[in-house]
Structure 1
Amino acid sequence: MQSSHFGKDFLWGVATAAAQIEGAANAYGKGPSIWDTFSKRSGKIKKGHQPTEACDFYHRYKEDIALVKTLGFTVFRFSISWSRIFPLGDGAVNKEGVAFYHNVIDECLKLDLIPMVTLYHWDLPEALSKEGGWTAFGINAWFNDYVSFCAKEYGAKVKQWIVINEPFGFTSLGYMLGVHAPGQTGVHNFFEAALHTAIAQADGAKILRGEVKGAVIGTAFSCSEIVPYTQSAPDLLAAKRTDALMNRFFLEPVLGLGFPTANWEVLEKFAISHSTWRYQERMKFDFDFIGIQNYFPLVIRYNAFIPVVQAWEVKAKNRRAPHTAMGWEVNADSFYRIIRQFAAYPQVKNIMVTENGAYFQDHLVDGKINDQARIDYFKAYLAAMLKAKNDGVNITGYLAWTLLDNFEWAEGYQARFGIVYNDFKTQQRTIKQSGYWWQEFLSR
């Protein structure tokens, strides 16, 4: 398999996020984000890690963007930190923050790399969180102001845009389960945040369409193939509920289908109580691409004691399935099937894999960072993607997660997903064997 098998116009890149790599969290006019605040709470992040310095990308962006070029990629995906532009979420603009992203974009263009900007990658300004964050009625107006500013400021130079990263991820983990920022819990908070997020992803796209000439606009969904543990009726229904929540809940409103409420009383009540039918047209947008971000399948069995979804994951290690150091199942065939599932909607023009990667324990051998398991992972997943493409799925790009070992949310600095090793004490970068594998793969 060679990169050329995917076609000459196929986009190859790496994906990153501001809160995970930038550092300079309390400097150069930036306001605190919910992750700056959340990470200071005892016990919330492994080993008490904080994103204060992260990879110091703020000061080392030229070095890191040069690495993207050296490894042979053509796309650099990064996010804008909302609170670096608007320290209080709205109102006064931080000129130093605005200039920083111009510098990043200009460096990409200088090296003939395509800058792909994610507008929201989980780091809400803390000032807006105090007003209710994504559960607040005002969030959509604040978000639209922010998007409009970014579109006007950077639109002449940036044509590739992602509106929101993994809406189900941050609303469920941050507003229902409380394990991610801002640490809120409860079904009510989740549904409030979910409705506003579903509106925001379409609102933001419409603003980009109006402001940026030639914009290619997508949004990025986390997704997992959902497999019932047995073929019993309870397990089959539990799997269907999980699929509706994890894979369909934010995608189908974008496609004009509304929320997937059929045959599930909880979602039906949500739709009625929030009058979601009023917003159906507003939540719809004809995206140029749908970004999918897949890391693992989920095997689901019925559990009456789990609130709302009444489903429980049967973990990969308990099934003796191959898995990463995060415990996530390695299953390239499942990756193929979830691509086909998302592509099956007639409204989806094309698919871009906007994140895919793995955390394995890296080993230093003969002065080199050997991560053969990661290389094998990429080989298998790219082969599965090529199979889907050859089957007729319109797949236009693949972005590896991620360039650098970074601040991996609640996992802190422990979970290393990078194809470049980062020493967080010295900030020295070392290309892993997987990075060199990518370099060789992309040269063919």
Structure 2
Amino acid sequence: MQHYISADWIFPVETAPIQNGVIGLDADGTITVVLTPEQVQEMRLEGIVSYKGAIIPGLVNTHCHLELSHLFGKIDEHTGLPQFIRQILALRAQPEDEITAAMQKADEAMYANGIVAVGDISNQLDSKAVKLQSKIYYHTFVEVFGFSRPSEPVIEAGLKLKADFSPLKASVVPHAPYSVSSSLFAEIKKNNAEDDILSIHNQETAGENELFAKGTGPLVDFFASVGIPPHEAQASGQNAIRYHLPQLRQTLNTLLVHNTMSEVEDVRFAEQAHPNLYWCLCPNANLYIENCLPDVKMFKSQRVALTLGTDSLASNHQLNILAEMKTLQDRLQLPFDDLLQWATLNGAMFLNIDSIFGSLKVGKKPGLNLVQLSADFKLESDQVQRLF
């Protein structure tokens, strides 16, 4: 059975917006046609369901921590990263049924918020059952860390956890430059499969760059306070991205997450060093933890591939990509076309699922969302209505 849906505007993403266009879908949501009003008139289509607003593809959340959903509302805002980590460590252990219920609720909320695919960080197997039952596509990033202990047991545990997530897609990835030794980076690289994709937290706080460049700052103090010895690359005279990026396999799609303190020299270095980079912005989490945003306009000027993420409910008030878009729109006056590209097609390309998701194109099954835009194409709210 064919469904025909129309709206004031249709945003295919890969092509120009269509005013009063029509999308045709099979019963399973696969797009069969994307039509202009003139084409609709020529075909004399009937039974078109029309909506007021703009139709966009399903949204892609490239960075989430589903397994931290039970920490919603429990972590103080604006503390900076070291204190945020302290609170996570102190509060993370909770009853299993509470953790599972929170993950289920968060997954359902993401689906209701128009999200169709998620890149999710996992340190444990807790989220597998939720992901298997979900209507959302998940790629799990099994995160490993360690620079003060042997790397072999760490990578073995990571590879076992990756296998335990089967049949779900999963990759073993480094946590962050300040938490992964060169030997562990080497083990990750050695064990990467050809179809893996990678993710790493990058330059999330000023203290991260200071640790690498000078060997001082709040991260150094935090590690000392919990008995972790100095990082091997501490006081190297170079910042964090120059330590970790050359140690990653360049043939794999790689997501740099947060990038709150990245500067133009870092971006130029990274783009030359790695041909398959994507840069993830998590604006509401950045504001929650550090109370600042990355230099998004600089990233735009460098024409890098940007994506959007929510981080976790420990560092955000909701898992809603449209809310991330609206924050960037309202604070930085960024155009809707750019935000939509980052929230859909770029994320799907990073996750290697753009044959299905990311744009309104014949043969794809990307999901359809209805959003409300002002006359000058600005999001009027962070609410979305799922149409398919």
Structure 1 or 2: larger strand share? Answer: 2
Q: Which structure exhibits the higher relative contact order, with contacts defined as CA atoms closer than 8 Å and separated by 6 or more residues?
A: 2
Per the normalisation by structure 1, the TM-score is 0.42
Per the normalisation by structure 2, the TM-score is 0.47
